[in-house]
Amino acid sequence: MEKEKKRGLKEIVATRIEFFRRKPEAAVYRPKVSSKHIQGLCTEAKVREHTVRSDYGEAAGGTNQGPNPIELLLSAFAACIEAAFYEFAVHEGLTVDALSVDVEGTLDLRGLFMVDDSVSPGFQDLKYVFTISSPDDEAKVRDLAERVVAHCPVVDSLIRPMQISGDIRIVK
């Protein structure tokens, strides 16, 4: 069963690569998330057919019903690297016995709490440890890992300035 899944994934990746080379306009992807306030600091986001709950720990005034938004960002960072590496390892014929990513960031909460406008509310730094268990040639595995991190859309979105626009609507 696992071998069939890998073969299917390898075919999916190969088909997508070829298709996007022929039709670059088809590669434009616009994910959408809709979030709503539940109560207190708890929110629920709808992502396709999934629900993602976010909350803060009790010490921060929440009810600890889920990770907080910044922890979800770190989770997205780790998950993107793991999934992309696995996808391309299968595509390139590498063996993956296990993958894990530990991500840690540093925040100065004075920015979030509007204590000091000179302090950024975002991360000051992010550090990750990507652990890959594979019997394959270490140089090939490392090369793929470096390419995956360099092409991870979550990593790229964190390091590259981009346009963010929006609208604030007040209803009565």
Tokens of 85: 């590496």
The pLDDT tens digits for 57-86 are 999 999 999 999 999 999 999 999 999 999
Q: What is the pLDDT of residue 47?
A: 96
Percent with pLDDT over 90 in the chain: 92
User: Which one, of 39, 31, 32, 33, lies nearest residue 66 by Cα?
Assistant: 39
0.85 exceeded by the pTM?
yes
Q: What is the pLDDT of residue 44?
A: 97
One DSSP character per residue, 43-66 reads EEEEETTEEEEE---GGGTS--SS
Residue ranges in the chain whose pLDDT is less than 50: none
Residue 82 φ then ψ, to 5°: -60, -50
What is the Cα–Cα distance from 132 to 147, expressed in whole angstroms?
14
The total of other beta-carbon atoms located within 10 Å of residue 60's CB is 11
Q: What angle do CA 154, 157, 158 make, to 5 degrees?
A: 90
Domains detected in the chain: 69-172 (3.30.300.20)
Q: What is the pLDDT of residue 2?
A: 63
Q: What is the pLDDT of residue 5?
A: 66
Q: What is the pLDDT of residue 65?
A: 96
